[in-house]
């Protein structure tokens, strides 16, 4: 009898605990199932590949082993890889900062004719990966390229003393990466400037401070969180870039060495050790950035209604702005112009020792849509991108809805995991997929052979390319939908459910239509960046029939005959597709496009 009474009391205690959990969290059975499936997705396709990489790097021959990490310290060649990659990341971050700070200030604090047009023009570099532009820039700035030939014709240099503008490829990588990444830095700085309380700047001016003093002592310190968000993203991107060093044949960087280790990933653990190294270094950079901004206080009082800080630019300031942005735009357009010119050049003989091609042709574009190696790559990219966008859309809606509409345990952790790919190097995720899902000895215990052949990237990378594209670009989708849900009142949904509608019907009929603009913007960005994804494509696509556009461009660029010219034409086609996508995203999001690039 006593045992039965104790069991009853224990049951009541358990029930009261469950009741307390239910009151604190919205863990209904449907929500629990959805949360469980979402968690399982992240565990399998984000956490597991990363853990697998760490396991392969440290657990060698069935024991804990630091041999390959010791080699990184003792081998001067590997140390040089890290140093070169770090130098590229630092130089690109520094130059993009120098360019983007005045650019953002000019375009947000001054009114002048053509400002809206210039705001659109400066985002042009985002429409093409830098490694595509590298093909054309080699023709422009090569030893016997257009720039040197122009200087020869002007009798400024002798043809036997031409200039190596890229210094073996290092400065070429820095230049192309800078021109590609400065818009991301600019968008973050613009968003940070918008959050600065104008009354603080006005108070400083009323105290007699000059405009430069106000910027240096008030504006710049208050916008530091936004600046560091852009700076760390630019640094990680440049530090781990794979495509641009490959095209410039600058192999002394860590990402290229990882790419070279792909074919022997299962036999040589050095590739895994290098991936662990860049993950640790990027995580350390991200942590230092967060601690730096977190150690200072940037709180401002509510701004209320204040007048705009924009002023009309006088004649001198207009000249400065037009000269600065005009020069920057010209430099930013050079890779695109060069690729277009290369794609219109018949062959190497028609652009040798001359400033411009001697003749023109559209045959490379015809070949792009008819050749057996190029047309399938366009179709493959469209296929991969469409399905990765749909997958990211579903996950983005689920996660953003859970974060904004439900009280969940470990809610902040879910948000952090979903945003994690934005701070992770692409080569790390791709290499993790290659290693973890190629290990068929592990998969054979649980999966039939037919399913293994679909998951193993060495046999068919389609499934993993779709997954990797979706995971890499999920933060863009998530942040876009999340912002829309935050700005939408829950009273509409409550009214719908009070009228008897189910939560699913309310979501479909009420919530999603209210944030359709954010959904479209996120989908466009996921699709466009998936179309020209570099790291995942180069590492996971191993067979010709599965090549996406970027892998086909890389493969063609290595051919000695017409390869670079056809690759340029294929790059222009991809560029046109991405232009249309970004124009659509800009039209939907307007001035809020920069929020998607916030970490």
| Residue whose pair of structure tokens reads 């990237």 in the numeric block | 457
Tokens of 527: 């699709």
Q: How confident is the model at residue 446 (pLDDT cuts 50, 70, 90)?
A: low
Domains in the chain (CATH in brackets) are: 29-55+360-599 (1.10.3720.10), 66-126+170-301 (1.10.3720.10)
So what's the pLDDT on residue 180? Answer: 86
Buried b (16+ CB within 10 A) or exposed e, 467-489: bbbbbbbbbbbbbbbbbbbeebe
Tokens of 216: 């240096």
Gap between the Cα atoms of 323 and 321, Å rounded:
5
The predicted model scores a pTM of 0.80
Gap between the Cα atoms of 396 and 404, Å rounded:
12
Output the CA torsion sign for 310, 314, 316, 321: positive
Q: How confident is the model at residue 387 (pLDDT cuts 50, 70, 90)?
A: very high
So what's the pLDDT on residue 21? Answer: 57
How much is the mean pLDDT over the chain? 80
Taking only the tens place, the pLDDT of each residue in 188-217 is 888 777 767 677 777 777 777 777 777 777
């Amino acid at each position: 009898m006593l045992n039965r009474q104790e069991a009853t009391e224990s049951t009541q205690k358990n029930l009261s605990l469950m009741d307390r959990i239910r009151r604190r969290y919205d863990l209904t059975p449907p929500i629990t199932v959805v949360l469980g499936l979402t968690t399982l997705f992240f565990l399998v396709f984000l956490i597991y590949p990363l853990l697998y990489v760490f396991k392969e790097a440290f657990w060698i021959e069935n024991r804990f082993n630091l041999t390959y990490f010791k080699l990184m310290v003792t081998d001067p060649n590997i140390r040089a890889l890290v140093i070169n990659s770090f130098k590229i990341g630092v130089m690109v971050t520094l130059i993009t900062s120098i360019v983007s700070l005045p650019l953002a200030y000019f375009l947000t604090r001054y009114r002048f004719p053509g400002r809206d047009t210039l705001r659109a023009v400066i985002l042009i570099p985002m429409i093409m990966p830098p490694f595509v532009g590298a093909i054309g820039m080699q023709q422009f700035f090569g030893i016997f390229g257009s720039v040197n030939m122009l200087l020869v014709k002007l009798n400024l240099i002798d043809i036997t003393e031409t200039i190596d503008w890229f210094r073996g490829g290092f400065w070429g990588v820095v230049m192309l990466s800078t021109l590609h990444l400065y818009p991301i830095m600019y968008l973050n700085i613009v968003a940070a400037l918008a959050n600065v309380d104008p009354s603080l700047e006005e108070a400083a001016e009323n105290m007699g401070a000059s405009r430069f003093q106000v910027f240096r002592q008030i504006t710049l310190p208050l916008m530091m969180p936004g600046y560091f968000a852009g700076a760390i993203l630019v640094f990680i991107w440049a530090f781990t870039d794979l495509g641009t060093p490959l095209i410039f044949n600058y192999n002394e960087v860590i990402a290229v060495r990882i790419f070279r280790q792909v074919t022997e990933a299962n036999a040589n653990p050095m590739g895994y050790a290098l991936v662990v190294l860049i993950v640790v270094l990027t995580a350390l950079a991200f942590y230092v950035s967060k601690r730096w901004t977190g150690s200072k206080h940037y709180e401002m009082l509510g701004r209320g209604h204040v007048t705009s800080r924009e002023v009309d630019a006088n004649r001198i300031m207009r000249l400065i702005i037009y000269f600065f942005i005009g020069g920057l735009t010209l430099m930013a357009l050079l890779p695109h112009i060069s690729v277009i010119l290369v794609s219109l050049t018949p062959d190497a003989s028609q652009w040798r020792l001359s400033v411009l091609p001697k003749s023109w042709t559209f045959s490379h574009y015809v070949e792009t849509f008819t050749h057996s190696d190029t047309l399938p790559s366009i179709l493959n990219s469209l296929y991969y991108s469409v399905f990765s966008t749909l997958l990211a859309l579903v996950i983005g809606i689920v996660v953003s809805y859970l974060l904004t509409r439900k009280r969940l345990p470990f809610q902040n952790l879910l948000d952090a995991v979903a945003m994690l790919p934005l701070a992770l190097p692409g080569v790390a995720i791709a290499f993790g997929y290659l290693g973890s899902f190629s290990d068929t000895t592990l998969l054979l215990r649980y999966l039939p052979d037919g399913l293994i052949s679909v998951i193993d990237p060495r046999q068919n990378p389609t499934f993993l390319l779709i997954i990797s594209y979706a995971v890499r670009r999920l933060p863009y989708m998530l942040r876009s939908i999340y912002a829309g849900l935050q700005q939408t009142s829950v009273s509409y949904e409550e009214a719908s459910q009070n009228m008897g509608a189910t939560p699913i019907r309310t979501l479909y009929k009420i919530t999603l239509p209210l944030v359709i603009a954010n959904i479209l913007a996120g989908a466009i960005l996921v699709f466009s960046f998936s179309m020209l994804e570099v790291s995942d494509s180069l590492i996971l696509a191993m067979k010709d029939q599965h090549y996406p556009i970027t892998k086909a461009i890389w493969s063609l660029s290595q051919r000695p005959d017409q390869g670079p010219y056809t690759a340029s034409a294929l790059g222009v086609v991809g560029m046109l597709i991405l232009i249309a996508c970004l124009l659509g995203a800009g039209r939907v999001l307007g001035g809020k496009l920069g929020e998607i690039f916030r970490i």
